[in-house]
Amino acid sequence: MWSLIVAVCMLAIWISFPSRPGEIHVAVASSFLGTLQELAPAFERDTGHRLVPSAGSSGHLYAQIQQGAPFDVFLSADADRPARLEAEGLAVHGSRFTYATGKLVVWSPRPGVVDDRGEILRRGDYRYIALANPRTAPYGAAAREVLTALGLWERLSAERKLSVGESLGQAFLAAASGGVDMAFVALSQVRGADGRISGSFWVPPEATYPRLDHDAVILARSDKQDAAARFTSWLRTAPAATDILLSAGYSVDRR
């Protein structure tokens, strides 16, 4: 029922606020929203186009696009859903590319909570750890893989120590507000402009979870495909975009 209410409300918003000239509507994974907000002013200075983001889990945004949401570009936190949209004819063929590769981190806003080897996860002397829904959020799926590799997924599930949010943004807020002891989040969410991370954290070995490639795609129903292509080209090639992505903690491959 709640999902239906949200869908109806979103439809009302789309109808009430039509797209304006010069605006590019971007469906963006919540883990990338902060970085997109840093990219937007640089892109507007370079091109005169304004980015209008709508954030959510990659799975929910994918479902909205299937239902006809009027986005121009989809910035997913995975490679699978943009590929599916391309195969379904809902994305412009050939427009898909990997714009960044993310990293997972276990984070607490409080110093001394998370050790630099992640031993706290095994000790279990905490109330809750938050993560995004593994079914809809790639970083949530990665968190499940890390806990499975550590032999902890079943135990923590049985002990009800896992607090599952619908998006990575919810997982981050749960930790930031003190509602949980720590959370699996994206490195980009907790890394400051100076490259430092406040609080305490552990970066799991990348071998313990699938590579977190973030793919972008231009959507077929967009009536601003030229402007959308200008944005994706800028994101892919502009030195300013690369600098922002790297400083946010992402890896980029410009080959």
Q: Look at 72-86, 90-104, 147-161, 182-196 and tell me which has the smallest mean pLDDT.
A: 182-196
pLDDT for residue 156 is more than 90: yes
Q: Please tell me whether residues 45 and 68 are part of one structural domain.
A: yes
Residues 83/98, Cβ–Cβ less than 8 Å: no
Together in a domain, 39 and 162: no
Structure tokens at 85: 């949209």
Does residue 113 sit in the same domain as residue 199?
yes
In a domain, 2, yes or no: no
Q: What is the pLDDT at residue 124?
A: 87
- What average pLDDT does the chain have? 90
- Tens-digit pLDDT profile for residues 87-122: 999 999 999 999 999 999 999 999 999 999 999 999
Q: Are residues 110 and 127 in the same domain?
A: yes
Q: Which domain holds residue 34?
A: 18-101+213-247
pLDDT score, position 3: 37
pLDDT recorded at residue 8: 37
Strands 212-218 and 97-102: antiparallel
Please tell me the least confidently modeled range out of 5-9, 65-69, 208-212, 225-229. Answer: 5-9
Position 7 in a domain? no
With respect to residue 132, please indicate whether it lies within any of the assigned structural domains.
Answer: yes
Does the pLDDT of residue 141 top 80, yes or no?
A: yes
Which stretch of 20-24, 41-45, 64-68, 167-171 has the lowest confidence by average pLDDT?
20-24
Sheet holding 182-186, edge to edge: 162-165, 129-132, 182-186, 104-108, 200-202
- What whole-number distance in Å separates Cα of residue 249 and Cα of residue 186? 9
Give me the pLDDT at residue 194, please: 77
Same domain? 143 vs 240? no
Segment 189-205 shows an average pLDDT of 89
> What span, in angstroms and rounded, lies between the C-alpha atoms of 28 and 34?
10
| Cα-based angle 223, 225, 226 (whole degrees, multiple of 5) | 120
Q: How confident is the model at residue 166 (pLDDT cuts 50, 70, 90)?
A: confident
Same domain for 188 and 228, yes or no, is: no
Same domain, 30 and 68: yes
CA 65 vs CA 68, 83, 169: distances in Å: 5, 13, 20
Supply the pTM of this predicted model: 0.81
Give CA torsion, residues 49, 9, 79, 145, to 10 deg: 130
Q: Is residue 158 domain-shared with residue 96, that is, in the same domain?
A: no
Q: Is residue 64 part of a domain?
A: yes
Say if residue 66 is in the same domain as residue 121. Answer: no
27 and 94 in a common domain = yes
Q: Which residue has the higher pLDDT, 192 or 185?
A: 185
Confidence of residue 145 (pLDDT cuts 50, 70, 90): very high
Whether residue 93 lies inside any domain: the answer is yes
Distance from C-alpha of 101 to C-alpha of 242, rounded to nearest angstrom: 12
CA atoms of 114 and 2, how far apart (whole Å): 35
**Looking at residue 90, what is its pLDDT?**
98
pLDDT digits (tens, 9 = 90+) for 60-79: 999 999 999 999 999 999 99
Residue 192 has pLDDT above 90, yes or no: no
226 lies in some domain? yes
Q: Say whether pLDDT at 14 is over 90.
A: no
Q: What is the CATH number of the domain that holds 243?
A: 3.40.190.10
Q: Sheet containing 50-56: which strands, arranged edge to edge?
A: 50-56, 23-29, 73-75, 212-218, 97-102
Q: Can you point out the beta strands (E) in the chain?
A: 23-29, 50-56, 73-75, 97-102, 104-108, 129-132, 162-165, 182-186, 200-202, 212-218
- For the residues 81-92, what does the mean pLDDT come to? 98
Is 6 a domain residue?
no
Distance, in Å, from the CA atom of 41 to the CA atom of 35, rounded to the nearest integer, reads: 11
Has residue 3 been placed in a domain?
no
Is the same domain home to 107 and 82?
Answer: no
Phi and psi for 219 in degrees, rounded to 5?
Answer: -90, 140
130 and 109, same domain (yes or no): yes
Number of domains in the chain: 2
Contacts of 79 (CB under 8 A, 6+ apart): 98, 213, 214, 215
